[in-house]
Amino acid sequence: MLDLPKPRTWIISPPKTFADIEEMAKAEAAANGWAVKIERVAVEGQEAALVAFSVVASEGAAAMIAGAGGMAMAEAAGIPVAAMVARAAVLTHPIAAAADDGSLAHLSTLAGPVPISELDEVRLKELQRALGRLGYPVGTIDGLYGPKTRSAWAEFKTDVYPGNPSLIGPDSVLVLKEKLQDLAGASAGISAGVSDVWSKEATIMAIRKACLAQGIGLPSQVAYVLATTQWETAQTFRPVKEAFWKDEVWRKKNFRYFPYYGRGYVQLTWKNNYEAYSHLLNIDLVNNPDLALEPKVALFVLVHGFKTGTFTGRKITDYINENRTDLDGARRCINGTDRAREIADLAQKFLASA
């Protein structure tokens, strides 16, 4: 069987309907000379369209596993079921792929304090990923000890676990693990059940928790993150694609950075940013960029980007902190001064209702 194009997951959210997604998928298939199979399913409680392409129509379209129906599709198409189940697990549960990093399985085996410089590559990668997810500037996650990793660990210990900044041991690893658990818990409510998966209230609550977990919990900071989310998602509080009113064929023709156009609560754009968050979350956003539309992924990118300055190099603390509240200037964290006044007004409303 010929190698198949990557399967796609498209979340159904107003104003986009299943019929809209079906039309987009068929247009893309026609433009590339592919066959296509589309199935309506639930993904973590969300209504979604699972779309799979095949190179030759006679082979049947590739199936993404989403229950018995997808299993039957895979078998009918002659696709190895085990391989498709593995792929579906990553596509439908992206944060689960990073579970090992949250448990710090390798660092947890330390019997006592050791110099951070003596950690092996596996433990260093685990440490770098954990610190990066918490917003500390570790640089590239490469398992190599250098000044950025050293400084990030020293900063973490200064913030939450005073002690020798050159040492790491069971106690400091335990504190690091607790911070990661707080971070994971912040997004738990965003997909708690079918009825509230896409409710504005559930999303707002998740954003508030995520801001607190990532250390940007001032009411004015949280209000600005919420205001940005409301604006960037066209009031829906749902992850969206850049130019969401257009189809994939149009995006391919008009975006020079296709397929790494904007996705999420804010627009994660450009391949290097998809690569960066792939390393942080231990998921493959490069080969499956639509994973950035998964609520838990989009939530992490939103808050982490504000904290670390991923989007423009400007952090929210540059404009909103204990001594300064520049709601207009904070727009520079996302997109220069575009619509700065309107978003500042929205932030004021969130502050007033807090």
Answer yes or no: is pLDDT of 3 > 50: no
pLDDT in tens, 178-200: 999 888 777 665 544 333 345 78
What is the per-residue pLDDT for 54? 61
* Domain 98-184 -> CATH class: mainly alpha
Mean per-residue pLDDT for 104-116? 93
Residue 34 CA to residue 32 CA, distance in Å, equals 6
On the question of a common fold for 98-184 and 187-353, the answer reads no
pLDDT in tens, 238-275: 999 999 999 999 999 999 999 999 999 999 999 999 99
CATH number of the domain located at residue range(s) 187-353 in this protein: 1.10.530.10
Answer yes or no: is pLDDT of 177 > 70: yes
User: Over the chain, what is the mean pLDDT?
Assistant: 80
Which carries the bigger pLDDT value, residue 206 or residue 183?
206
What is the pLDDT confidence band of residue 1, given thresholds at 50, 70 and 90? very low
pLDDT in tens, 16-62: 677 777 777 777 777 666 677 777 665 555 666 777 766 533 333 33
Residues 6+ apart with CB under 8 A from 350: 222, 223, 226, 227
What is the per-residue pLDDT for 24? 75
What is the per-residue pLDDT for 45? 54
Which carries the bigger pLDDT value, residue 93 or residue 100?
100
What is the per-residue pLDDT for 152? 95
What is the pLDDT confidence band of residue 174, given thresholds at 50, 70 and 90? very high
pLDDT in tens, 286-344: 999 999 998 889 999 999 999 999 999 999 999 999 999 999 999 999 999 999 999 99
Please give the model's pTM, rounded to 2 decimal places. Answer: 0.68
Residue 337 CA to residue 326 CA, distance in Å, equals 12
Where are the chain's structural domains?
Answer: 8-92, 98-184, 187-353
pLDDT in tens, 63-89: 333 333 443 443 444 433 333 333 333
Percent of the chain with pLDDT over 70: 73
